[in-house]
Structure 1
Amino acid sequence: MNYSIEKPDQVFLNHTPADVCIVDVRTTAEVKAKFLPSAVHIPLQTFSVNTLQQAINEQKPEKIFLLCHSGRRAEMAAKQLEGQIPSSIVVIEGGIQAIEKMNPNWVVTQGKTVSIERQVRIAAGTLVLSGVLAGLFVHSAWFALSGFVGAGLMFSGITDSCAMGLILAKMPWNK
């Protein structure tokens, strides 16, 4: 691991968000609902070394701070950058939630949006319920749909990655 993870109180010990280079890797819908005004937005699904370099232009920050909802997607972005840029990479632990808890005045809230995590739970629940109902009323083979979704949820929990979340992040309502 060539990146570090720091709590917001350490990141902003002597600085405000406007003083440091923060890259937000959440979806556009999430950023529209709640954001740090000084952060550069590059959704994880389009994140790469090239998009990062284009976004920060000619800045040559000593450290680049990665931000997401809670920290997981920022770590995924940090892994993409390992050894490819001269700046130090720091993942902000706890994401925008932790920053908002630390200093609510720094975070701008514009409205409600359904987070990717909630969208995954809604979609998974809908698929499981549909599989059970179709299994009862149409054909017992439909129970396999519920089993498949359950297996996917187990895999997601074990690996801490979520294919359904990545697919949902690409949907038009999350752009």
Structure 2
Amino acid sequence: MTIQTITPAEAKVLVAQGAALIDIRERDEYARENIPEAHLLSLSAIESGERLGPFDPFDTVIFHCQSGTRTAQNAQKLADSVAPAKVFLLEGGLTAWKKDAQEILADKSQPLPLMRQVQIAAGSLVLAGVGLGFGVHQGFFLLAGFVGAGLLFAGISGFCGMARLLAIMPWNKP
């Protein structure tokens, strides 16, 4: 079954008519910026069995994430979580919503989402390792290799030590 995608303008009309808009991003992403009408129900919460509803066949539910990728990859799982409601995916996610000049709530005092922090930290360490490897001593290339191995391990296993470490940092505490 193919689940239809809709534009931000179409979603805005459906929300005004009573459709439920559900943000499947994680709590830290939602806290930094979100669509005012959106309810948070993260993909991880859906996967662990949390639900909104109950819904009936006359209800309309629109799911969105940051770029539309997570909703597209998990479309059937999302639809099953609100069955038998009619389901749409917001094409392009929050990014498209903002490009369409739709209203968002932003709280820049919230920390960056954890995965962005991991990307910044890993990228910085790799650049430092390469720069120091060329400029100071070749042994610093091991730093870049270590970070690369950590990212490879995280991708294969689903466990990211850097994310766990960053999650306990003071700026990420509620």
TM-score, normalised by the number of residues in structure 1: 0.66
Distance in 2 (CA, whole Å) between partners of 1:43 and 1:174 is 19
User: 1:46 Cα shift?
Assistant: 1.9
- Give the match for residue 136 of structure 1: 138
- Report percent identity of matched pairs: 21
Which residue identity lines up with residue 37 of structure 1 in the other structure?
Answer: P
- Give the match for residue 109 of structure 1: 106
Determine which structure has more spread, i.e. the larger CA radius of gyration.
2
Q: Secondary structure at the match of 2:62?
A: strand
Distance in 2 (CA, whole Å) between partners of 1:174 and 1:24 is 22
Distance in 2 (CA, whole Å) between partners of 1:144 and 1:110 is 36
Query: Which sections of structure 1, spanning at least 5 residues, go unmatched?
Result: 157-162
Distance in 1 (CA, whole Å) between partners of 2:159 and 2:41 is 20
Distance in 1 (CA, whole Å) between partners of 2:125 and 2:62 is 37
- Give the match for residue 51 of structure 1: 50
Which residue identity lines up with residue 136 of structure 1 in the other structure?
Answer: Q
Q: 1:62 aligns with which of 59, 63, 72?
A: 59
Listed one character per residue, the Cα deviations across residues 76-121 of structure 1 (whole Å, up to 9, x for unaligned) are: 34232355622232110121222233244x3222224413553242
Compared CA separation, residues 72 and 120, structure 1 to 2 (3 A): farther
Residues 25 and 43 in structure 1, CA contact (< 8 A), matched pair in contact too: yes
Compared CA separation, residues 108 and 18, structure 1 to 2 (3 A): farther
Q: Give runs of aligned pairs for residues 61-80 of structure 1, distance below 5 A.
A: 62-80=59-77
Residues 127 and 144 in structure 2, CA contact (< 8 A), matched pair in contact too: no
User: Could you say what the CA RMSD is over the residues aligned between the two structures, in angstroms?
Assistant: 3.9
- Give the match for residue 4 of structure 2: 4
Which residue identity lines up with residue 20 of structure 2 in the other structure?
Answer: C
Residues 24 and 41 in structure 2, CA contact (< 8 A), matched pair in contact too: yes
Q: Secondary structure at the match of 1:26?
A: coil
Q: Secondary structure at the match of 1:70?
A: coil
User: 1:141 Cα shift?
Assistant: 5.9
Query: Which sections of structure 2, spanning at least 5 residues, go unmatched?
Result: none
Q: Secondary structure at the match of 2:5?
A: strand
- Give the match for residue 30 of structure 1: 29
Instruction: Report the number of matched residues.
Output: 161
Q: 1:81 aligns with which of 78, 98, 102?
A: 78
TM-score, normalised by the number of residues in structure 2: 0.66
